[in-house]
Amino acid sequence: MSFTRFTNCHLIDNGQLYEFTDLYINNKTKKICHPPSNPDLVSVTIDLKGQILAPGFIDIQNNGIYGLNFSNLDGDSTAEDIAEFKNFYKDAMTKYLSTGVTAICPTVTSNFPEVYEKVLPFYKRSRLDTQCDSLGAHLEGPFINLKKKGCHPVETFVDAKDGEEKLLEVYGGANNLLENVCIVTAAPEIEGVLDLIPAIKAKNCVFSLGHTMADYQTGLQAIEKGATMITHLYNAMPQPHHRNAGVVGLINTPAGANGDKTPYFGLICDGVHVDPSMANLAYRSNPNKCVLVTDAMHLIGLPDGHYKWDSQVIVKTGDRLYLENTDTLAGASTTLPQCVRNLIQWSKISLPQAVKTVTNNAAMSIGVQNERGFLNIGCDADFVVLDKQGYVQKIYKLGKEIKSSDIPLEKSTEKISAML
């Protein structure tokens, strides 16, 4: 048995900075471990030269990356299409790892049953050392409200008046949910959805409120039924009013009789979906339940331009994505490390506090805290090495070093200039 020791580093965990603290991993299990009783068993020592070691980042809402749309198979997809998608998926997940995100919930937006049948098996939970892992899919729709459709195709929308039978019909059966899904986002006011929440929880899935017109009381009912999350807070829901808090008011829900029932909430800190002052308001309201998400579209990492998306066209300008000729946002294209840096600036908080939102909080929100998102004994050796500004210097995936693509703008410009 042999071990790797990370030394001359500061650790970030639990919103705290632990200065000059060593970390050990078991080279066989690829998990964090206690220091070996015999120092001679340390076969590799990695000197981080005063840099910061934190858990790998987790992105629980991400619609696509590097040109790959996570919903891009359907009933007409051939065996050749599926094989091509498989290769594309592996390549995109390898590239996304370089941003510092070591695990994601690939998000499938509102769709037809044949799409879920084809794509969900790709998102079975994984544990790999060469690419970003899937923690199970995030199914955003199609049990959502037409009035808060966003860019979701309305022809796919359904209700749940037929109960669990309808749920399984849409998503491809109980095994598909149990094995390949992590989160289901739905609107609790849609007929039948409230009563489905316990069934969704029983499939080991998180129920999240989103794309909804629900009022505060309906939100409370959903929480009592087992809802534990809100999808991309502020977006695709009624805006809070001082006499009508709506779903947003749930982030301050008092502790329930059986413990804290305040839901976790996804927050897109790209400066486009949520104004910085409102992001700060939400974070300050409940820092321990705030989970930064990218809500990235497949155009992240691609040049600016017009891109066809099903029957619609998305216009990409920098980190802004809109449906053509509208002011409807179509996802995002800002990386998760940049969202972390944005929150630091907007809320005037420390790097450890911001990192908590994409590590500890993210892991807790989907129940994987014993495996990921912390630097605790027994957690996977998935790490990011950060500088003091929060830029990812390198990544370790199950202990294997990965090069970072998270480059400051000025350095990126210098790199491009040098190539000309």
pLDDT category at 371 given cuts 50, 70, 90 is very high
Per-residue model confidence as pLDDT tens digits over 280-307: 999 999 999 999 999 988 888 778 889 8
Of 91-105, 189-203, 251-265, 287-301, give the lowest mean pLDDT range.
Answer: 251-265
Q: Determine whether 47 is an active site residue.
A: no
Amino acid (one-letter) located at 276: P
| Predicted pLDDT at 413 | 43
Judge whether 167 is annotated as a binding position: no
| Per-chain mean pLDDT for the chain | 93
| Residue 374 is assigned to a structural domain of this protein | no
Q: Are residues 356 and 415 in the same domain?
A: no
| Residue 122 is assigned to a structural domain of this protein | yes
| Predicted pLDDT at 270 | 93
Q: Are residues 314 and 218 in the same domain?
A: yes
| Residue 373 is assigned to a structural domain of this protein | no
| Predicted pLDDT at 411 | 58
| Residue 164 is assigned to a structural domain of this protein | yes
Q: Are residues 180 and 256 in the same domain?
A: yes
Judge whether 273 is annotated as a binding position: yes
Judge whether 151 is annotated as a binding position: yes
Q: Count of domains in the chain?
A: 2
Reply yes or no on whether the pLDDT at 345 is more than 50. yes
Domain membership of residue 11 as a residue range: 3-55+381-419
Q: How many helices (H) and strands (E) does the chain have?
A: 11, 24
Judge whether 140 is annotated as a binding position: yes
Judge whether 211 is annotated as a binding position: yes
Whole-angstrom distance, CA of residue 157 vs CA of residue 141: 7
> Which among 295, 380, 382, 406 is annotated as catalytic?
295
| Predicted pLDDT at 331 | 66
- The helix or strand, by DSSP H or E, that contains position 235, with its residue range, turns out to be none
56 bridge partner residues:
none
Residue whose token pair is 């069934």: 199
pLDDT category at 128 given cuts 50, 70, 90 is very high
* CATH code of residue 331: 3.20.20.140
Amino acid (one-letter) located at 115: V
Judge whether 331 is annotated as a binding position: yes
Q: Are residues 327 and 387 in the same domain?
A: no
In contact, 46 and 5? CB cutoff 8 Å:
yes
- Token readout for 77 is 């997809």
Q: Are residues 196 and 210 in the same domain?
A: yes
Whole-angstrom distance, CA of residue 350 vs CA of residue 17: 9
Per-residue model confidence as pLDDT tens digits over 145-186: 999 998 898 999 999 999 999 999 999 999 999 999 999 999
* CATH code of residue 396: 2.30.40.10
Q: Are residues 221 and 290 in the same domain?
A: yes
Whole-angstrom distance, CA of residue 331 vs CA of residue 333: 7
Whole-angstrom distance, CA of residue 378 vs CA of residue 371: 7
Counting other chains too, the contacts that 406-409 makes at CB distance below 8 Å and 24 or more residues apart are: 406/98, 406/99, 406/100, 406/335, 406/337, 406/338
Considering only residues 104 and 301, tell me which one the structure prediction assigns the higher pLDDT.
104
pLDDT category at 398 given cuts 50, 70, 90 is very high
